Amino acid sequence: MTTLRETAQQIFARTLAAIEVESVVQHHLQRNGEQLSAGKETIDLAAYRRVLVIAIGKASVPMARAAETVLGARLSGGLVVTNALTGAAPQKLPVVLGGHPIPNAGSLAAATQALQLLRENDSAETLVLFLLSGGGSALFEKPIAETISLDDLQTINRVLVGCGAVIGEMNVVRRFLSAVKGGRLAAAAPRARQLTLYISDVNSDDLTSVSSGPTLPGNATRTEFDRIVAHYDLLRQFPPHIAALVSAGDLPELPQPDETNHQHTHHLLLDNRKALLIARQIAERDFGCVVEIADDLVEGQIETMMFTHLERLQALQQTQPGKTVCLLSGGEVICPVRGNGQGGRNQEFVLRTAIHLHQQNWQNIVVLSAGTDGIDGHSPADGALADGDTLRRALAQNISAEACLQNSDSYNFFLPLGDALITGPTGNNVRDIRILLAR
């Protein structure tokens, strides 16, 4: 019989294998002669002289490889923007490495190239296949004003990542300061037929936030932007000339959604909810677990989320005596950075849980939290796992949980214990998965 630790690791590993991006895209995007199908939509390729692919995000490389395979000789060109080359590069599509979580010169070059490509091919005889996944907000960027430099963008992104805002709030700010977000990229080729496919790292009902919505305008308003800026005191943290630009009220409005435009369509292929359903199937079928998916535990302050998860797990355990129970959730906990250590929200969530399990002397409980992209904050790990014995093992090695917690250094807590999960970049990004087991 597998241990709870082994079970948690296997559930996560098998879920990652089942949501492998290239296979998911090829399942949804298929071609029969000149007929290209995406979900329930069919496009006649014979109507287009040029077929372009622009892939942006952490899953862009495998998405682009799949599209290249499906389109074959009908593919005219395009661009792939990613943070890491996972597997073989597409044969006909150049790859640009942007920065994540902070934009770099590659991020700016990629956005400039994409805008030029779209403007040069703005025609009813052009089909543009956009492949979007999480991470594109930093990987792909061009500022709305020439006065905003790369250094400014990097400062703005550091401020946003560390201020405590959830991803939706960060993306509202990013859209107003960008020339490619909030539908502005698609606006560079309004006459072209556009099809966008998503591997989503946001809440299921908000595709406008995937990579900050370069092809899909959202409903963000200047009032909402101003509220977020004020709530997190961003003007004080932004460079002075950026703060002055925002305060002047001269930022252009974002494009507005146009539900009557059937030439620009959008399809969700994979998101966190679908990944959790797969994880539940694996936990039930392969390990005999009684599983509950906590749909409401998506985003929240890390300490509160930790306590709530353990309360739910214990409640589930009480209703299923003698059985292995599994609580699944996904999303991203809010974890402000306090120190200069190595770590991320997943590892800190697990560290806080390990401390609490030790304080309560709770045994037969295992917690795993990890990013499906293979990256957790500023560390080589994608997450960690812990149980009621973790703190005892750490103390035996003179590792201070509290010191690591205060310095945002959870990675260097788990690494010497062998409990840091290290997969490397996966080429996927459907947010985090949390797996709690009890027996």
| Model confidence pLDDT, tens digit, residues 153-195 | 999 988 998 898 887 788 899 899 999 999 999 999 999 999 9
Check: CB of residue 437 under 8 Å from CB of residue 7. Answer: yes
pTM of the model: 0.87
Does the residue 23 lie in any domain? no
What H or E segment, with its residue span, contains residue 167?
Answer: helix 167-176
Domain end point (choices 270, 295, 312): 270
Question: What CA–CA distances, in Å, run from 62 to 19, 48, 140, 371?
Answer: 12, 25, 17, 18
Does the residue 19 lie in any domain? no
* The dihedral sign for the CA sequence 307, 308, 314, 315: positive
* 232 lies in the same domain as 355: no
Q: Which pLDDT tens digit goes with each residue over 239-294? A: 999 999 999 988 888 888 876 678 999 999 999 999 999 999 999 999 999 999 99
Domain end point (choices 270, 287, 303): 270
Instruction: Please report the pLDDT score of residue 304 as a whole number.
Output: 97
Instruction: Please report the pLDDT score of residue 1 as a whole number.
Output: 60
117-132 burial: b if 16+ Cβ within 10 Å, else e: bbeebeeeebbbbbbb
CATH of the domain at 154: 3.40.50.10180
Does the residue 216 lie in any domain? yes
Q: Which domain holds residue 420?
A: 4-8+273-438
Instruction: Please report the pLDDT score of residue 219 as a whole number.
Output: 85
Does the residue 17 lie in any domain? no
Parts of the chain with a pLDDT under 70 = 1, 204-205, 259-260
* 202 lies in the same domain as 322: no
